[in-house]
Structure 1
Amino acid sequence: MGDERLRVLLADDQALVRSGFRLMLSVEDDLEVVGEAADGRLAVEQARALRPDVVLMDVQMPVMDGIEATRAIAADGLAKVLILTTFDNDDYLFDGLRAGASGFLLKNADPDQLVDAVRAVGHGHALLAPEVTRRVIAQMTAAPDPAAAGAAAPPARHTGLDVLTEREREVLTLVARGLSNAEIAAQLFVGEATVKTHVSSCFAKLHLRDRVQAVVLAYESGLIQPGE
Structure 2
Amino acid sequence: MAQGYFVTGTDTGTGKTTVSCALLQAFAAQGKKVVGMKPVVAGSENGRWHDVEQLIAASNISAAREHINPYAFDPPVSPHTAAQQAGVEIDLTVIQRAYQALSRQADIVIVEGAGGFLVPLNAQQTGADLARALNLPVILVVGLRLGCLNHALLTVQAIRAAGLPLAGWVANCIDPQMQLLEENIATLEQRLDGPLLGVVPFDQEMIPRKRVRLLDVIRLG
TM-score bracket relative to the smaller structure: 0.3 to 0.5
If the length of structure 2 is used for normalisation, what is the TM-score? 0.40
If the length of structure 1 is used for normalisation, what is the TM-score? 0.39
Instruction: Name which one, 1 or 2, has greater alpha-carbon Rg.
Output: 1
- Higher RCO (C-alpha under 8 Å, 6+ residues apart): 2
Structure showing the higher strand proportion among its residues = 2
